[in-house]
Structure 1
Amino acid sequence: MTDQATIAALVQRIEVLEAEADIRRIQARYMFLCDTPCPEFGVGDDSHRIDLIMDLYSEDAVWEGVGEYYDNQFGRAVGHAEIRAHFEGFWGEKQDPQLLLNAHYLTSEQIHVDGEEASGQWIHMQPWLYSDGTGLLRSSRLNNTFRRIDGTWKITRTRTENVFIAPLPENFAGSFPSKSVLMRP
């Protein structure tokens, strides 16, 4: 291999590693912003939170729940307006009972980069606690796609499939914050 070919091969490998790191950060940021209470410093309301989530998506993105359980629960949202409406259903006073706590834990990561496009698979688990004391533990498989747009990776598809949902004991969390204080400057 010539020096030029070696350099070109190394550059390509570095670009893939950087893309994987960017995609990993985007997916983690998405999950972080979806946690309740929202741990992002300075996010005063859910509309702002949703704005930050939408910044992660391409204009033509798709968010969909698939499989036996999620088809009917989550459905399919295409484009920013539909995806925003989907997220507006998760937070706020219109939800009854209100979601007080959920946290996303990602595992089993696989990221595949092919030029300006990529896919990623994860399994995630999240406990949910509602204002009426009920709770559940939810686990899903994620099969997401990404595209580099003007030099920035964006989510082009969030596709989630139920692995299991299990009830948690009433008021399972005895101690949890009403707001996060970790992200102070």
Structure 2
Amino acid sequence: MKLEDLVAKLEALEKQVEVLRAEADIRRVQARYMFLCDTPCPEAGADDDAERINRIMELYTEDAIWEGVGSYYDNQFGRMVGKAAIRKHFEGFWGTKRDPALVLNVHYLTSEQIHVRGDEADGQWVHCQPWIFSDGSSLLRSSRLNNAFRKENGVWKLARTRTENVFVAPLTSGWAESIPEKSVLMRA
């Protein structure tokens, strides 16, 4: 094999490895976002809503966009541009006492597609999440996600979170048992 052929093969392999690393990093960013949004929050030290929001905001670019789209989510979520607006959105969700209170919310991701283009990428997922409230009411929510990512200073971050409703379905009261009051998963 000629030296130039070997160099070309190594360069191609290096580009493939870069894409695979980017996909893995993006997958971790998206999963971490969902993990931090779970209730009760399973991450040690993120029991406090302000700390949870701080950790979520670390995942976003300064100019990020968070938006709900489609006839159902346009009115429910709207569009926030920039970290300050996104933070305010999360403070409105976790910073207010709800009646009935949210006692369980878990995010499940599926149908993943990630497309990397240099230092930018997009990813699509279908996400499903059960919600259980303190009054015993429950619902199952499903959404499609079409998110954008950008690599900044060697770190992949969310540049856009875009979510569209697929369905919301009521669940029968009492369908789940043994609901934890708090998570101890990542505590020593």
TM-score (norm 1): 0.96
Candidates 53, 65, 70, aligned match of 2:68: 65
Candidates 107, 114, 117, aligned match of 1:114: 117
| Contact 2:41 2:47 (C-alpha < 8 Å) held by counterparts | no
Structure 2: tracts of 5 or more residues without a match:
none
| Contact 2:141 2:169 (C-alpha < 8 Å) held by counterparts | yes
Structure 1: tracts of 5 or more residues without a match:
none
Q: Which moved more, 1:152-161 or 1:168-177?
A: 168-177
Residue 92 of structure 1 deviates from its aligned partner by 4.4
Alpha-carbon RMSD = 1.1
Paired positions, count: 185
Aligned residue number for residue 53 of structure 1: 56
Q: How does 1:106-185 map to 2 (within 5 A)?
A: 106-185=109-188
Aligned residue number for residue 79 of structure 2: 76
Residue 134 of structure 1 deviates from its aligned partner by 1.2
Aligned residue number for residue 39 of structure 2: 36
Q: Which moved more, 1:166-175 or 1:76-85?
A: 166-175
The amino acid across from 1:23 in the alignment is I
SS at match of 1:89: helix
> What is the rounded CA distance, in whole Å, between the counterparts of 1:2 and 1:119 in structure 2?
32
Structure ID, larger Rg: 2
Residue by residue over 1:58-100, the C-alpha shift from the partner in whole angstroms, topping out at 9 and shown as x without a partner, is: 0100000000100001111111111111112222452222111
TM-score (norm 2): 0.95
Quickly say closer, same or farther: Cα 1:25–1:67, change in 2 above 3 A. Answer: same
> What is the rounded CA distance, in whole Å, between the counterparts of 1:96 and 1:50 in structure 2?
21
